Structure 1
Amino acid sequence: ENKVFVARRIDKLETDLNVRLFRRHNKGYLLTEHGLALEQETKKVDQQIYQIQRVFKDKETELSGKLVISKPSSGGINITPLISKFIKQYPKIQLDILVAHNSDDVDNFEADISVVLTNYPAEHMIGTDIGLLPIYIYGSEAYFRQPNKNDIQDLDWIIWKDDSGRTDMESIIKGIVPNPSIVLRTNSYAEMCEYIAEGIGVSMTSPIGLPSDSKLIPFRKDKYSFDIHLWLLSHPDLRNNAKVQVFKKFFVREIQEYV
Structure 2
Amino acid sequence: MDWDKIRLFYEVAEAGNFTRASEKLGLNQSSVSRQISALERDLKVPLFHRHARGLILTEHGDVLHRAARDVHLRLEATRQRLTETSDRPAGDLKITATVGIGGIWLAQRITEFLDAYPEVNIQLILTNDELDLAMREADVAIRLRRPAQPDLIQRRLFTIHYHAYASLAYVDRFGEPESVADLDRHRIVSLGGDQPAFILNLHRLTSLGRNPKDPRPNRLMVNDSLALRRAIETGTGIGMAPDYAMGGNPNVKRVLREVEMPTLDSYLVYPEEMRSVARVQIFRDFLVAKAQRWAY
TM-score, scaled to structure 1: 0.81
Letter of the structure 2 residue corresponding to residue 161 of structure 1:
G
Residue 93 of structure 2 contacts residue 280 of structure 2 at CA under 8 Å; is this kept in 1? no
**Aligned alpha-carbon RMSD (Å):** 3.2
Q: CA shift at 1:189, angstroms?
A: 2.2
Instruction: Indicate whether 1:221 and 2:266 are aligned.
Output: no
Amino acid at match of 1:64: P
Q: State how 1:111-126 maps to structure 2 within 5 Å.
A: 111-120=138-147, 122-126=149-153
Query: In the alignment, which of 105, 109, 115 is matched to residue 78 of structure 1?
Result: 105
CA shift digits 1:206-226 (9 cap, x unpaired): 122349866222223342432
- The residue type equivalent to 1:185 in the other structure is M
Tell me the equivalent position of 1:176. 208
- In the alignment, structure 1 residue 159 sits paired with structure 2 residue 190: yes
Q: Give the C-alpha shift of residue 105 in structure 1.
A: 4.7
Question: Relative to structure 2, which stretch is displaced further, 129-138 or 246-255?
Answer: 246-255
Runs of 5+ unmatched residues, structure 1? none
| Distance (Å, rounded) in 2 between the aligned partners of 1:116 and 1:17 | 43
Contact 1:75 1:205 in 2 (8 A): no
Return the letter of the residue paired with 1:232.
L
Once the two structures are overlaid, the 10-residue window that deviates more, 211-220 or 135-144, is 211-220
Residues 179-218 of structure 1: matches in 2 within 5 Å?
179-210=215-246, 215-218=251-254
Q: In the comparison of the two structures, how many residue pairs are matched?
A: 257
TM-score w.r.t. length of structure 2: 0.72
Change (3 A) 1:249 1:232: same
CA contact (8 A) 1:142 1:199 kept: yes
Q: How does 1:44-83 map to 2 (within 5 A)?
A: 44-49=70-75, 53=78, 56=81, 60-76=85-101, 77-83=104-110
Residue 182 of structure 1 and its aligned partner are, at CA, apart by 0.9
The whole-number CA distance in structure 1 between the counterparts of 2:157 and 2:145 is 11
Cα offset, 1:115, TM superposition: 1.8
Match of 2:267 among 193, 215, 231: 231
Equivalent residue number for residue 175 of structure 2? 147
- What letter matches 1:176 in structure 2? L
Q: Which residue does 1:98 correspond to in 2?
A: 124
Deviates more, 1:105-114 or 1:183-192: 105-114
Q: 2:282 aligns to what?
A: 246
- Give the letter for the 2:51 counterpart: H
The one-character-per-residue Cα deviations of 1:83-137 (angstroms, maximum 9, x if unpaired) are 122233x243423132142222523224333222225564421111123111111
Unmatched tracts of structure 2, length 5 or more: 1-18, 20-27
Q: How many Å apart are 1:12 and its aligned residue?
A: 1.6
Partner residue in 2 for 1:42: 68
Residue 53 (structure 2) aligned to one of 21, 27, 30: 27
1:129 aligns with 2:138: no
Q: Quick one: which amino acid aligns to residue 86 of structure 2?
A: T
